[in-house]
Structure 1
Amino acid sequence: MPCTEAYKEHIMYTFNGFCKTVIRFAALNAWRDRSRRRQKEISLEYLTEEKFYPLGTTDEYFEAPYEEYPITICGQTVILTNGELAAALLSLPERKREIIFLYFFGDYTQQEIGEMYGRCRSTAWHHIHSALQMLHKEMEVLFREES
């Protein structure tokens, strides 16, 4: 069935009228929601004047800072907050400590660490892995001693 120009125009006007109605009711609903929200809101100034609560908080995290354990590796000082980890790192051989420091604290890649020590990447990975295993064993020993 062919559509006439008058019918197309009628559909366009009907659609435009529908869109205007939908937009108008959406605006009315948004306005009602906003006014309901405003009626339920209580001003912060009203609460502080009425009950005299001080504006501020304290957090235990900042009141009692952790103990700090400084360790010097590769001429740089690293401050740790875990005493067991600090003791375990200090019990490692110097070279293993340096490799752990370079990889985890210095953000060096395995390739770069290998080049620094004149080795390949896989050898650097092996040294990192063995240092982590030694660190894990040492921390288990320290944990058993505390218990």
Structure 2
Amino acid sequence: MTCTEAYKEHIMYSFNGFCIVVIRYAAINAWRDRNRRRQREISFEYLTEEKFYPLNTSDEALKSPYEQYPVTICGQTITLTNGELAAALLSLPEKKREVIYLYFFGNYTQREIGEIYGNGKSTVWHHLHSALQMLQEEMEVLLHGEP
């Protein structure tokens, strides 16, 4: 079946008409969607003036919501967010504080800590264990007022 020139022209005009209708309705839908979105949106001016939410670029949002307690052990300053823990840690003897720092904050093994102090692994374990017991007792006193 061969297509005549008139039939090809009819198909082209029909397709062009279809495309125009589709584009027109797509534009109408986009316009309606944009208007609906505008009705739901709230401007920045409304937020800042009516609700008194100031827009700023200060470092307030970056600050920690917790109080910070710096503690210096082995020449390094660590920042704790628990004041009782910081006070209890500072109440320990210097060597026990250093062992706790090296083990928990410095990620040293018990064997490595023993090599630093010239002790064995079991001695370091004893220092850690007794230091943790002392910390627990001190924390109970600070939190509850009784041992």
Q: Structure 2 length as normaliser, TM-score? A: 0.59
Matches within 5 A, 1:21-60: 49-53=38-42
**Alpha-carbon distance in 2 for matches of 1:48, 1:63:** 35
- Name the stretch that deviates more: 86-95 or 63-72: 63-72
**Alpha-carbon distance in 1 for matches of 2:124, 2:43:** 56
User: Deviations along 1:4-45, whole A, 9 cap, x unmatched?
Assistant: xxxxxxxxxxxxxxxxxxxxxxxxxxxxxxxxxxxxxxx9x8
Aligned residue number for residue 117 of structure 2: 117
Give the 3 Å change call, closer, same or farther, for CA 63–80 of structure 1 in structure 2.
closer
Aligned residue number for residue 52 of structure 2: none
Structure 2's unaligned 5+ residue stretches are: 1-32, 45-60
Give the 3 Å change call, closer, same or farther, for CA 112–52 of structure 1 in structure 2.
same
Measured on the aligned residues, the alpha-carbon RMSD in Å equals 2.7
Q: Structure 1 length as normaliser, TM-score? A: 0.59
User: Match of 2:126, as an amino acid?
Assistant: H
Aligned residue number for residue 126 of structure 1: 126
Q: Assess if the C-alpha contact under 8 Å between 1:48 and 1:54 holds in 2.
A: no
User: Match of 2:40, as an amino acid?
Assistant: K
Matches within 5 A, 1:1-147: 49-53=38-42, 65-145=65-145
Structure 1's unaligned 5+ residue stretches are: 1-42, 56-60
User: Match of 1:52, as an amino acid?
Assistant: E
In our comparison, the structure showing a higher alpha carbon Rg is 2
- Counting aligned pairs with the same residue, the percent is 63
Q: Assess if the C-alpha contact under 8 Å between 1:68 and 1:79 holds in 2.
A: yes
Q: Which runs of 4 or more aligned residues in structure 1 lie more than 3 Å from their structure 2 counterparts after TM superposition?
A: 45-48, 61-64
Report the secondary structure of 1:119's partner residue: coil
User: Deviations along 1:94-141, whole A, 9 cap, x unmatched?
Assistant: 110000000000000000001111011111111111100000000000
Aligned length: 98
